[in-house]
Amino acid sequence: MATWNSRGLRGSGLEEYINQTNEVYRDNQLALVQKIPTPITPINIDKTNRHITLAYFDQKSTVDYIGLVQGVPVCFDAKECAGDTFPLANIHEHQVAFMTDFERQDGISFLLLSFTRREEFYYMKYREMMRFWNRMQEGGRKSFRREELDADCFFSRRGNLLVPYLDQLALDLQKR
């Protein structure tokens, strides 16, 4: 079982950027998207600072974010990648199942990827994620390479929007 001070906080920098972007979107009445907290059981607590120093994840979470964008239900997960190859092991089966169920209810599911070394973001449509996921399930590659991705779905920071994903969401909606 994963613990909070090991792998559990990878991506927390990306999530902080997304949280700040979501505040701007909310303030401008463009979207209401919230971070879904991961349920944990504290094991060690630093009593002087009242901080949890070790915890176990109680259960498998769903995705990182759920909300509404101009009346459209969305859910997405945030993932970071240091190199140009993304291991599909970073996407969990229960997350894929949740996103599939969400899509079946006419919601929009996607991943926000951060290629940290390149300082760029990628909006991965649900169907694109499933193409790579199904390829892996059928015995193919257990990862995808940056060069396999749609060049139109890369984006960068813009002004006070640290992860401006709404433009990519609009393109996704247009192509459905």
For residue range 99-144, list pLDDT tens digits in order.
999 999 999 999 999 999 998 999 999 999 999 999 999 999 999 9
Q: Is 27 annotated as contributing to ligand binding?
A: no
Nearest to 126 by CA among 145, 140, 112: 112
Residue 59, CA distances (Å) to 9, 37, 39, 40, 175 in order: 16, 11, 7, 8, 35
The answer to whether 85 is a known ligand-binding residue is: no
| Full set of structural domains in the chain with CATH | 12-39+64-174 (3.40.1350.10)
Answer whether residue 29 shows pLDDT above 60.
yes
Task: Find tokens 């009242």 and name the residue.
Answer: 50
64 in a labelled binding site: yes
Is 95 annotated to bind a ligand? Reply is yes
Report the alpha-carbon distance of residue 144 to residue 91 in Å, rounded.
12
Q: Answer whether 0.85 is exceeded by the pTM.
A: no
